[in-house]
Amino acid sequence: MRHRAVALFALAAALPAVALAQSASEVERCFQNPAACQQGGGGTPAAPPAAPPVTVTRPAQPAAPAPDYATVLQGSEAERKRIQESLRTLDKYSGPIDGNLQSDATQKAIGDWQKGRGTPAVGKLTPQEAQQLNAEASRAPIRRIEPPTQTATPASPSPAAPSNAEALKSLQARLAERRKAAEPKAEAASQALIRDLKAYVASDGKGIAGEQFSAFAKWYADSKSAGRTISDITPAIDDYGQARAGAAVASEVNFHTKQGDASSSQCLVFAWIEGNPRKNPQVFSCDDVAAVEKWKTEQALRSAWR
C-alpha cells in the first residue's frame, strides 16, 4: 500500500506540467490562427477546408482528312487507262481499256485489289494507291502465252476451180432447166399469135392482128397489092422471159407466099408483152437483129430461153 500511494503521488505531480505544456502550445496556435481553434479554447484543431478540384482541358484532336478519290477519277484519260491496264496485268480486270474507272467491272477490280492488300474494298483509289497499283503491275512477270497443246486439224484443201469447159457445161444445164420450165407458156403465147394472124389473112386484112401490129398490116397490104398470097404461116420461138411489165415474147414467123407459079418466104419477128390486149407490140425483119435486141433491152427482159 505504501508503494502504491507513492506512485499515485508522482503521477499527480507530473500531470500539471503536461497540461501546462499543452495549454501554452494551444494558446500560441490560437493566437496565430484564431479560426482554427474550437469554441472553448481546447480540443483537437479543425481540419483545413478542402481545395477545389482542378479541371484540366485538353485541346481537341483534329479529324482525319477524308480520302482523296477525286484526283484519280478526274485524272487524264491516259492515267485512267493505265490503271485499268495495271488491273488487267494483275488478273483483276478483263473489261475494255476505256478509262472509265466508275464502271461496275473496274470498281470491282479495284475493290478486289484493295481487299487482297488488307485495306477496305471501296472500289476507288487515292493517288497513293494508284501509284502503288501501277508499281505492283510493273513488277509483275510477263506471262508467256503457250501454244495450244491440241493439234490443229489441217484445213481441207479448197476444191479446184472448174475448168472453162465444165463451167460452160454447167451454165448450159441451168439454161436448159429454165427453158424447160418456161416452154409451155412461151408455146401457148406463140400459138395464140398464129391464130390471130391466120384469122387476119382469112378475113382478108381484118382482125386484131392488124390492129395490134401495124407493121404487119402494112406488109400484108403491100403483099396483096403485089399479087402475092399467103399459103402457110409457121412460128418459131425466138425468146421468152420476164420483163418489167410482164412476160415478154419474141417469136419468128415465116410467111410462105405464092405469086403465080413462084413461091417465096418472108420472115418477121413479132415481139410483145403478154396481156389482153398485147402491150408494146412490135414487128421487125428477122435480119434486123439490132432492133430486136434493143426492144428486149428496153423491156428489161430476163431471158429464160438463152
Looking at residue 143, its pLDDT comes to 61
pLDDT grade for 8, boundaries at 50, 70 and 90: very low
* Exposure b/e, 142-180, CB count within 10 A at least 16 = b: eeeeeeeeeeeeeeeeeeeeeeeeeeeeeeeeeeeebbe
CB distance 272 to 209 below 8 Å? no
Give the mean model confidence (pLDDT) for residues 124-134. Answer: 89
Task: Look at 41-50, 139-148, 171-180, 218-227 and tell me which has the smallest mean pLDDT.
Answer: 41-50
Give the CATH number of domain 175-303; options: 3.40.50, 1.10.10, 3.10.450, 3.10.150. 3.10.450
pLDDT in tens, 20-73: 445 555 655 655 666 655 544 445 555 556 666 666 666 666 777 888 889 988
> Is the pLDDT at 16 greater than 60, yes or no?
no
Higher per-residue confidence, 171 vs 129: 129
How far apart are alpha carbons 175 and 234 in whole angstroms? 25
Alpha helices by DSSP H, listed for the chain, are 2-32, 70-73, 77-89, 104-116, 127-139, 164-202, 208-212, 214-225, 289-298
Q: How far is C-alpha 173 from the geometric centre of its chain's CA atoms? A: 45
Looking at residue 244, its pLDDT comes to 92
pLDDT grade for 142, boundaries at 50, 70 and 90: low
- 70-139 domain in CATH 3.20.20? no
Higher per-residue confidence, 205 vs 173: 205
> Is the pLDDT at 12 greater than 90, yes or no?
no
CB distance 216 to 283 below 8 Å? yes
Looking at residue 20, its pLDDT comes to 41
pLDDT grade for 144, boundaries at 50, 70 and 90: low
Looking at residue 18, its pLDDT comes to 43
Average pLDDT, the chain: 81
Higher per-residue confidence, 219 vs 65: 219
Provide, rounded to the nearest whole percent, the portion of the chain with pLDDT above 70: 74
**Residue-range domain boundaries for the chain:** 70-139, 175-303
> Is the pLDDT at 97 greater than 60, yes or no?
yes
Looking at residue 148, its pLDDT comes to 56
C-alpha distances (whole Å) from 16 to each of 7, 13, 41, 42, 259 are 15, 7, 18, 16, 202
Give the mean model confidence (pLDDT) for residues 247-269. Answer: 92
Q: 70-139 with 175-303: one CATH topology? A: no
How far apart are alpha carbons 17 and 269 in whole angstroms? 178
Looking at residue 59, its pLDDT comes to 66
Looking at residue 246, its pLDDT comes to 92
> Is the pLDDT at 245 greater than 80, yes or no?
yes
Give the mean model confidence (pLDDT) for residues 245-265. Answer: 91
Looking at residue 11, its pLDDT comes to 44
> Is the pLDDT at 19 greater than 90, yes or no?
no
Provide, rounded to the nearest whole percent, the portion of the chain with pLDDT above 90: 44
Looking at residue 270, its pLDDT comes to 96
